[in-house]
Structure 1
């Protein structure tokens, strides 16, 4: 608890402390002011000293510039020589650069010329190869067409042989039966054989069927027609196929509409040959050979009929 008797002492102390603080603050302000003035004086002195030194240095430099010494001459000579060397180096560099550019252009033109020569050689080689390939292709095409013509010729010769055999068989059948028309069953068998690309068996002559008399001590062996036609030979593949499939003479009669169809037209080798010649004419191959074969066949048939 604050004692009232000590209030004056405290006030005195406060006043004394306040005065001491003010005196210290005033001393600090005065000291800072003195320091500022001192620094300003020092700065001015330093500036004056620098200006003096600059003036002296300027005077010394002016004096040195005013008189030309041996060292200055040497320095100027070295400077001139360095500049001259630099110019020479620059000119040499430019000359080399121009030389390099010219050489580069010349090399480029040489490379282009070589490439052009190589291209021309390659084009010529390709043209020659193409011509050889054309010749080879034409030879292959000629061979292929020749093979095709040969195949067509063989096929037409086979067809003509079949037709001629059918014509000869018809002629022999006409001689045997004394009839112009062939039996329908026999005709269907011939057509079936023709479709199967099988020849028509001709009737053997009597001379081929002649046989010697058999000895009395043994049974006569089958000769003549039996030897020419062994058992089972007449039932060939085409006849067996007709029997299994119910075609030809084994065909079962159909409906009335089928019975109303026209009868089988007798075989006419001239009509068939003309039809084959038209097919061959469309393919463009073997027309002359077919006409010659037909003329030969017709002439042979006419001579045979006239002889009969």
Structure 2
């Protein structure tokens, strides 16, 4: 990369990382619902502004920013979190597709923001499909049938409700992309300053590999998904062997996923842009 591009990527990644840590700590610390969706909106808003502020940058500029930001997250004292790192980098890549197709302009940012916004819905589906396999689809069909049996709602209505929620979020991404191109520099710099100054939540003490894996496997959402699986297997009149296999398989798959996440030495990755970002973060 050219020196100016390296400098711009490093500076932009430092800004995005600072805001991500400040806003993320605030949202997660106070257990605000849909915090991941809000962070996704924040990322595409800032990527749109970075695109506007660097009109001569290459079309993968935002993908590079997001990749460096994800690497910076691996250095965070909050611990190694591959899923948010994957989300940050993938959303940056999807955003770049919009810029690649329509150019580094408002339309490119608009399309890129919408494409990036889809990942916050796709990532959890992909992760849980990796853990549960085809059983996930069968479980979804089972609970849709149960919902239509106990409540006056049809499968089509449920599908429309989910589609409506997705469209609303994608509309917000599009709106923020337009807003980023229209807002003045002094206002957005004030916005970044305020978000970066949100009171941080004290990081949890570093866990050993074993304790970290136990914490991963006892996350409320994962435990809840196992409970739903158990209910599904019980009411589908599965045999005892099928029930045991149906519970042990996702636990084993999740264990392997979480183990890989914790063993990957992402913090050892070196790049010139990463060093520039660290330089900006240090002041």
Name the larger-Rg structure.
1
TM-score > 0.5, shorter chain as reference:
no
* TM-score bin (small chain): under 0.3
> TM-score by structure 1 length?
0.19
